[in-house]
Chain A
Amino acid sequence: MSREYETVIGLEVHVELATKTKIFCGCKTDFGGAPNTHTCPICTGMPGALPILNKKVVEYAMAVGLATNCKITKHSKFDRKNYFYPDNPQNYQISQLYLPICRDGKVEIEVNGTKKSIGIHEIHMEEDAGKLVHDDWEDVSIVDYNRSGVPLIEIVSEPDMRSSDEVIAYLEKLRQTIQYLGASDCKLNEGSMRADVNISVRKVGQKNFGTRTEMKNLNSFKAISHAIEGETKRQIEIIEANKEVVQETRRWDDNKESSKSMRSKEDAKDYRYFPDPDLPPIYISDEWIEKVRKSQPELREEKLERYKKEFDISEYDATLITESKHLADLFEQTSDICKKPKKVANFILGELLRLLKEKEMDDSEIDFSVEHFAKLIELFDSGVINSTVSKQVFGEIFLNDVDPEKYIKEKNLMVVDDNGTLERIIDEVLEANPKSVADYKEGKKKAIGFLVGQTMKAMSGKAEPSKVNQILTKKLQ
């Protein structure tokens, strides 16, 4: 990117709230489910149906607002946003324009050791849309209203970010905070956290903002970074060519790494918002705010302090683990069972993070039982399996949630404890590798490594390498 320009970025982050039921009806919010099973007359816009507000939605929205230093709007109300699209059964979305529930907040982010405050313009409540599945065979789309009416909050930032690193840090911070609150699982891949990115560029030092575009369809942090880079480049090229950036919504295609205008002559971006006559306003008293504040779960900073006191792990490890509510929960629950926090921490920060990265998974997708994990730690700690095997078994737990005890038995992976077998195997290895034996005896001490390896191989990994080393050394003297 040219040094002459800077990118100005603001975010609209949609988060699906972790309520049991939808925002205006008693249908389940569970992800998945056969098409249109989680539906009723209200969330499918049947003629005559009316919305009834889920109180928990208001409380989650307040909790997120408080955790992001917002002012809570005492008199809040819902408005209708009118536009036609088949995923929107009423052809209006119930949202908040005029009096959103939270305003004027901020969160602290840190990028490369530099701290920065990102302003939050507002947080409002609204309903999610249904899902469209495109059928290429018949050239039609199929509408499923299972997601229709799932509660969302939209967190609108100020245009305070200047790079994709800052954007990612901001999103990570929001995700961490919201997960800690238990207000959402914030899964990007399931769409429970989604970000639309407003991007404009301007010459460095220029006071006014450039014309912005809004980028949609960003399903991963990677796509967000790509989109910011791509759009910055596109806008600079337009400006350099003495043309004007058009204010519009664009759809990012991460495979093609390019975006396309979503404008159509059949749509006018004129939502004709007006107060929803079906929903009375919301009044939030100071008492209610206090109640929500007091019932907030332990947030990250408090948890970190507690870990330092309660668990015998390093401050560094505690910091890393508490960065994610999912990892912290996993750590605490597993440690509670096996009482070996240090080993649990090592596994989480070693093997688990490695596997997540390798499989390109999010820690919110971790889906194995803490009992299995705790049992593995115990088996390893008591010497039933060695370190290599423990990693292998952990991999199996991670992927298939196997019971480690059964798995080890089935695959016969226990450390062989009787010295007879081990010594017999070592003797065979020594006999089969006279050259290495000779090398060792001539002073090439490194040759023992090869012999240990051969022995482990012959033992199918079920020996303690240090013990093998010990016996070999003795026999070679």
Chain B
Amino acid sequence: MSTHKITDEVIDYVGILAKLELNEKQREKAKHDMEEMLEYVDKLNELDTENIEPMTHIFPIENVFREDVVTCGDGKEATLSNAPEKKDDGFKVPKTIEG
């Protein structure tokens, strides 16, 4: 018995966050896989990390900037060149607000 019970609600919630839809079979598999992974990664709790600073970047570099200078021209054609659906020089999507 896993210590990390992944319920249908959790899988549904993660599905909403990740915009993924699972059928019944996939959902059962996802629950099992996630329980197994979470149980496995619990191994990290064996380590005392109380006073350890989290490490986001490997190297202590900072202040990587660009100057405020225009370097791009008209990008319309390139931007739209892979669009699955377009209209009026824009990307066409299902309506985002109700009438």
Contacts and interface: CB of A to CB of B under 8 A. Distances in A.
Interface in A31-57: 34-41, 44, 52-57
A57 B65 CA distance: 10
Nearest to A285: B63
B63 to A, nearest CB: 6
B77 to A, nearest CB: 9
Interface in A73-130: 75, 77, 82, 84-86
Interface of A: 19-21, 25-28, 34-41, 44, 52-58, 75, 77, 82, 84-86, 132-136, 138-145, 265-268, 270, 272, 275, 277, 279-283
A300 B97 CA distance: 42
A40 B66 contact: no
Contacts, number: 136
Given A53-B65, A136-B99, A27 B93 contact: no
B67 interface: yes
A268 B71 CA distance: 38
B56 A138 contact: no
Contact of B91 (A136, A142, A270, A283): A142
Contacts of A275: 56
23 contacts: A19-B68, A25-B71, A26-B66, A26-B69, A27-B70, A36-B75, A38-B72, A52-B65, A53-B66, A55-B66, A55-B67, A85-B96, A133-B88, A135-B88, A140-B94, A142-B91, A142-B92, A144-B89, A267-B16, A272-B17, A280-B62, A282-B63, A283-B63
A interface secondary structure, majority: loop
B55 to A, nearest CB: 10
Nearest to A18: B68
A44 B79 contact: yes
B65 A55 contact: yes
A277 B59 CA distance: 12
Most buried by A among B69, B87, B97: B87
Given A84-B19, A132-B96, A36 B80 contact: yes
Contacts of A142: 87-88, 90-93
Given A20-B68, A20-B70, A140 B75 contact: no
B interface secondary structure, majority: loop
A51 B90 CA distance: 23
A270 B17 CA distance: 8
Contacts of B65: 52-55, 58
Given A44-B79, A77-B56, A135-B87, 19 more contacts: A27-B70, A35-B88, A36-B75, A37-B74, A39-B79, A40-B78, A52-B64, A54-B66, A55-B65, A134-B95, A134-B96, A139-B95, A140-B87, A141-B92, A141-B95, A141-B96, A142-B90, A265-B16, A282-B63
B70 A21 contact: yes
Nearest to A284: B63
A266 B68 contact: no
Q: Which 6 A-B pairs have the closest CB atoms?
A: A26-B71, A142-B90, A55-B65, A56-B68, A143-B91, A39-B75
Contacts of B19: 84
A391 to B, nearest CB: 42
A281 B68 contact: no
A140 B95 contact: yes
Contacts of A38: 72, 75
